[in-house]
Amino acid sequence: MKNNLPHIKFENVSVEIPIFHGEYFSLRTSLVKKNKKTLYINALNDINFSINSGETVGLYGPNGSGKTTLLRTMAGGYHPIKGNIKKYGFINNLIETGIAIDHESTGYDNIKNKLLFLGYPTNLIEKMRSNIIEFSELGDAIYNPVRTYSTGMLMRLTFSIATSIPADILLLDEWLSVGDESFQSKAESRMKEITKEASIMVIASHNFDMLKNLCNRIFLLESGKLVSDKKIM
């Protein structure tokens, strides 16, 4: 694995997720009690793999198997209690596109703030903002506070921002659904474009046939463990 190419490597990675006031829950999963009011789920256990440039990896498994947790750990949302993670390349996390959206600010201001948050220079932001507004089809509503948006309008805004950001590594939890039926075909075309441009794509899904058609590797997860890493010819 060349360090100057996009890559992700997990070495014996384990992740625990806290459940506050855990004494009120009855879970079949493995739990570790750390104090009187917090339980921790053993969400990932001794995960090992390397993903290199040019690979498209599907994450498959039942609910609770660790697919979304693994994606969030790749994105940096969860930190391991054990093991090492090595990453190179800019990651676009399409798992939670609504992060860093201020509902009291306008859509127009949210675009700038989100891009500033990601480190884009002001001169580039203005050009990107025009393209984002055009793609979103929000019209004059872009100048209204986000709290006035319908669910479909908010999804248009967040999708348009997230998919305007070029990335070496693309993380997806299922295909994104953008709500408005009239906007979905346009959104699907955009998704196909950005998946072709990314050096690495990792997508979690319950649809095994879709993963076989889309990916050249499939990880099977069960109870937080990587039980199979299969290459697709």
State the average pLDDT for the chain. Answer: 87
Q: 10-residue block means of pLDDT along the chain (233 residues)?
A: 81 89 49 62 95 95 94 94 95 80 95 89 92 95 96 89 90 74 81 87 90 92 96 82
- Give the whole-angstrom CA distance, residue 207 versus residue 202: 14
Q: Six-digit token pair at 233?
A: 């010819």
Q: 């441009």: which residue's tokens?
A: 197
Question: Looking at domain 7-89+202-231, which CATH architecture does it have?
Answer: 3-Layer(aba) Sandwich (3.40)
Where in the chain is CATH 3.40.50.300? Answer: 7-89+202-231
Task: Determine the pLDDT at residue 174.
Answer: 77
* E runs forming strands in 53-157: 56-60, 82-88, 91-93
Task: Determine the pLDDT at residue 34.
Answer: 55
- Residue 92: C-alpha distances to residues 19, 61, 177, 195, 200 (Å): 27, 23, 17, 11, 11
Q: What single-letter amino acid sits at 211?
A: L
